[in-house]
Every structure is written in structure tokens, then in C-alpha cells.
């Protein structure tokens, strides 16, 4: 177990970092290329453990891949999956387990999905329910993994999801690729749309009308996919740049898909100095470089439609709010309790230990900004990569050194994290 010490940054962060590959897009690149007929080329694949869990799952389903270098791989598929000999291990990855449920429900074999302790506590009913309505058969242990999936003929549905979740939406759409008729999903607010963009790019028969996405049984074509940088990883640098005095940094190759850029809206509402440079497109996704400078910040309200557009950034946004004048209120984010940890109670408990004025609510938290971060404490990471990285960022402005326990959890999404911070 790696405990790390973080102390106050005295000089400011300066320089330029290249943001590593998007985790959500990396998962989808492997999944959809494995379903596509032919040889796919994936460039700038994530080195995070989660996307590698997805890759391993497909190896066990008979799909061969070959790395040309650390971040470039080819996937060879005839579009068919084979009966796996063992349970498929999704590790810590909710995206792997929930999207695979959709892919596997319509196959002509049975198999089992398993995960680590944290993943085995996360709710799976949200995907089991729509898949069952499509005629699928998934057995769980009180709504949790292990999930035993019995391959069945599926029929399309018109599913109205109660939650805005890209994992639920993607699960249903992927099952829809193997179902008779039309499969539609409507969500209360639009969640990240990487599945829609990539399926379309690979030739699926898919349409989007507002909050409703529909797909018909489709074969996919193997293509080249170049993955952009992850705005959820960039978020730690954005916040650090804004709150560490005297900072001026450039973050290169950040994915700027509007379904993910809620953090930029929040930063602007707080008066943060952030600029998009060289806006461009890469594999159908908007991309740009960001310039972030230390800023005088004010509190803001975060609720409603914006929540799915910044759901993974909320832990580090709490740290940002601690340095903004006034009271920041986050509401409508109850699903944060179902992430890699209960991110509301874990975050509030650990940030309090280092002196941040934060209160838990049922569906979010309230931060009273500009209280000094005293630091001088040991903090826990709850097997949660984003909590670990958020605590690190808080440590950069704490009066006394903090010790972040079990920091190795960052490897789930962002093994380059410490090296990139050290380079600034
Ligand atoms: C993800 C969707 C989000 C997000 C997760 C990745 C995805 O989860 O929190 O880290 O890749 O589809 P929900 O869709 O459950 O909100």
C-alpha cells in the first residue's frame, strides 16, 4: 500500500502537461472494436486499470488484440464472441460490468461477471431491469455482482430511465444491437454520449432525438479510433491551477464533448480564468487545449441538468469550492453515493479532517469557502481513485502536510497523475 505525503505548493504550478486518454472512450473503443468485423486500430489507449479490465474480458471472450506500443493496439475480430471458460473479471470497473451486461444478454451462451469488493457493492438492478424487459435473463445476488447472464433472444423496448446514467443508457443500446425491432432509451437529462458517437462512427443504425436515443440490430465496421484526453483527469489540474497561487498551466489534448464539460461551466460561473486554445475535432469528439491561471473565485450553485455533465468531477469541485468566497451548494447528485465509494459521505468525512468547512446532504454537499485548509492529518481513500486525487489537490493548498493513504488507487484511471504533477 502506498501512502503519500503532500505539502503546500509555495511557488505555483507552471508548465504544460499532455492529458492521458479518456477512460470512458477507451472502454468503448475496446468493446465496439471487439464487436466489429475486421482489424481495428486504437490509438492513445488509456493505461488505467479499468480499460485494461475491459480488454482482458474480451480476451476471455475470444477476441485477440496486439499492442504495437504502450498506447496503440490492434483488435482482430470476426464480430462474434466465444463462450468464456471462466468468470469475466471486471475488476473495479462499473462501466465494464454494466456495458458488458448489455452486450452479453443477447449472445448464444451463458457467462458470469464478477468484480472487486467495491464493484460488488454497487447497484446493478439499474441494468438488470431494462435487460429483463428486453427478454434477457440476469441473475444477481440481491441486485449485486456476481451477475450470471443467460444468453437469450432479445426484443427491442422503449425504455424511460429514471436516472441520467450513461452506463444504463449504453447497456440498453448495446443489448439493442442484438435485439429484434427498435430499442430506445430516454433519460431525464442527457448523460455522456460517447456510446452514441462511436456506434454511429462504426456504422450502427442509431438515431438521437433530444433525450431519446434509438438503435436497431446492427453490425459494426472495424475502423481507426484515436482517443482524446480525459476531461475527468484534466479536472484535477484545472482545480489545482485555479487554487494554487501564482499558477499558469496548459493542459493539452482535453476532450471537450459538451456532455462532459460541466466543470468548465462551473469554473466560469465561479470567475475562474480558463481559456480554450486550438479547439479541434478528433474521431468525432471535440478536443482542445486549456490554459488555466490562479483565480479569485466565488461560490456557485450546482444542480439539475449539469450534474451528469460533471458527475465524476464533484469530489474535486468540493476542493475548488473550499477556496471560493461564499457558500457552494451541490444538489441532485444522490447517485454519487453509488460510485467507487459513497462519494458524498467519504468526501465530506475526509475533507473535514483537513479543515474544510463542508456538510453532507442527502443528495450532495454544502461548502463554506475560504476557510483555511489546516491539513496536518492522515486521510483515507476508500478504494476510490477520484477521492485519492481530490485529496492530493487539497494538500497542495493545505497549511500543514497531509498524508493520503493507499494512493495506488489512482492507477484505476490515471497512473501518470503524480509524474505529471511533478513536472509542473
Ligand atoms: C461512465 C458513466 C458515469 C461515470 C463513470 C463512467 C461511463 O457513470 O460516473 O465514471 O463511462 O459511461 P453513470 O453513467 O452511472 O453516471
Per-residue pLDDT of the chain (424 residues; tens, 9 = 90+): 799 999 999 999 999 999 999 999 999 999 999 999 999 999 999 999 999 999 999 999 999 999 999 999 999 999 999 999 999 999 999 999 999 999 999 999 999 999 999 999 999 999 999 999 999 999 999 999 999 999 999 999 999 999 999 999 999 999 999 999 999 999 999 999 999 999 999 999 999 999 999 999 999 999 999 999 999 999 999 999 999 999 999 999 999 999 999 999 999 999 999 999 999 998 779 999 999 999 999 999 999 999 999 999 999 999 999 999 999 999 999 999 999 999 999 999 999 999 999 999 999 999 999 988 999 999 999 999 999 999 999 999 999 999 999 999 999 999 999 999 999 9
Does 25 contact ligand 1 (Cβ within 6 A)?
no
The catalytic residue among 50, 312, 384, 411 is 312
312-329 burial, b for 16+ CB within 10 Å, e for fewer?
A: bbbbbbbbbbbbbeeebb
From 21, 54, 165, mutation site for ligand 1 pocket: most ligand atoms within 8 A of C-beta: 165
Residue nearest ligand 1's atom 4 by CA: 312
Does 323 contact ligand 1 (Cβ within 6 A)?
no
pLDDT of res. 112: 98
Does 127 contact ligand 1 (Cβ within 6 A)?
no
Does 413 contact ligand 1 (Cβ within 6 A)?
no
- Report the predicted TM-score, pTM, of the whole model to 2 decimal places: 0.98
* CATH number for the domain running over 23-212: 3.65.10.10
| Cβ atoms of 24 and 48 closer than 8 Å | no
What is the CATH superfamily name and number for domain 4-20+228-423? Enolpyruvate transferase domain (3.65.10.10)
Distance 377 CA to ligand 1 centre (A): 31
312 catalytic? Reply is yes
Nearest to 129 by CA among 159, 154, 88: 159
For 142-272, list the strands marked E by DSSP: 144-150, 154-155, 158-160, 179-180, 182-186, 206-209, 212-216, 220-221, 224-226, 248-255
> What number does the ligand 1 atom closest to the CA of 170 have?
12
Does 93 contact ligand 1 (Cβ within 6 A)?
no
Using CA atoms, how far apart are residues 158 and 209, in angstroms rounded to an integer?
A: 13
pLDDT of res. 178: 98
Tell me where in the chain the CATH 3.65.10.10 domain(s) lie.
4-20+228-423, 23-212
Amino acid at each position: 500500500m502506498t501512502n503519500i505525503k503532500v505539502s503546500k505548493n509555495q511557488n505555483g504550478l507552471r508548465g504544460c502537461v499532455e492529458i492521458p486518454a479518456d477512460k470512458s472512450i477507451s472502454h468503448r473503443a475496446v468493446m465496439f472494436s471487439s464487436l466489429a468485423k475486421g482489424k481495428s486500430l486504437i490509438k492513445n489507449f488509456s493505461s488505467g486499470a479499468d480499460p485494461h479490465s475491459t480488454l482482458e474480458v474480451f480476451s476471455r471472450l475470444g477476441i485477440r488484440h496486439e499492442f504495437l506500443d504502450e498506447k496503440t493496439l490492434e483488435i482482430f475480430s470476426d464480430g462474434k464472441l466465444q463462450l468464456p471458460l471462466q468468470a469475466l473479471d471486471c475488476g473495479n470497473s462499473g462501466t465494464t460490468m454494466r456495458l458488458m451486461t448489455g452486450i452479453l444478454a443477447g449472445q448464444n451462451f451463458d457467462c458470469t461477471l464478477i468484480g472487486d469488493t467495491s464493484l460488488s457493492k454497487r447497484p446493478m438492478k439499474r441494468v438488470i431491469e431494462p435487460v429483463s424487459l428486453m427478454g434477457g435473463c440476469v441473475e444477481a445476488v440481491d441486485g449485486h455482482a456476481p451477475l450470471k447472464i443467460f444468453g437469450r433472444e432479445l426484443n427491442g423496448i422503449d425504455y424511460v430511465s429514471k436516472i441520467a446514467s450513461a452506463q444504463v443508457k449504453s447497456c440498453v443500446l448495446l443489448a439493442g444491437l442484438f435485439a429484434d425491432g427498435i430499442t430506445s432509451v430516454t433519460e431525464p437529462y442527457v448523460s455522456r454520449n460517447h456510446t452514441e458517437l462511436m456506434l454511429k462512427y462504426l456504422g450502427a443504425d442509431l438515431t438521437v432525438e433530444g433525450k431519446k436515443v434509438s438503435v436497431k440490430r446492427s453490425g459494426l465496421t472495424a475502423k481507426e479510433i484515436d482517443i482524446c484526453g480525459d476531461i475527468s483527469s484534466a479536472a484535477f489540474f484545472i482545480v489545482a491551477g485555479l487554487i494554487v497561487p501564482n499558477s499558469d498551466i496548459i493542459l493539452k489534448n482535453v476532450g471537450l464533448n459538451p456532455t462532459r464539460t460541466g466543470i468548465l461551466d462551473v469554473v466560469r460561473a465561479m470567475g475562474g480564468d480558463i481559456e480554450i486554445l486550438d479547439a479541434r475535432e478528433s474521431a468525432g469528439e471535440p478536443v482542445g487545449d486549456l490554459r488555466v491561471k490562479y483565480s479569485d473565485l466565488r461560490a456557485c450553485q450546482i444542480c439539475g441538468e449539469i450534474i451528469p455533465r460533471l458527475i465524476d468531477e464533484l469530489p474535486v469541485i468540493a476542493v475548488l469550492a473550499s477556496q471560493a468566497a461564499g457558500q457552494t451548494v451541490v444538489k441532485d447528485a444522490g447517485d454519487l453515493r453509488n460510485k467507487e465509494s459513497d462519494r458524498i459521505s467519504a468526501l465530506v468525512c475526509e475533507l473535514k479532517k483537513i479543515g474544510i468547512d463542508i456538510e453532507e446532504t442527502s443528495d450532495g454537499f454544502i461548502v463554506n469557502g475560504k476557510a483555511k485548509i489546516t491539513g496536518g492529518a492522515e486521510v483515507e481513500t476508500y478504494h476510490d481513485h477520484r477521492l485519492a486525487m481530490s485529496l492530493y489537490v487539497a494538500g497542495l493548498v493545505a497549511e500543514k502536510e497531509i498524508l493520503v493513504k493507499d494512493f495506488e488507487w489512482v492507477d484505476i484511471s490515471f497512473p501518470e497523475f503524480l509524474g505529471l504533477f511533478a513536472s509542473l
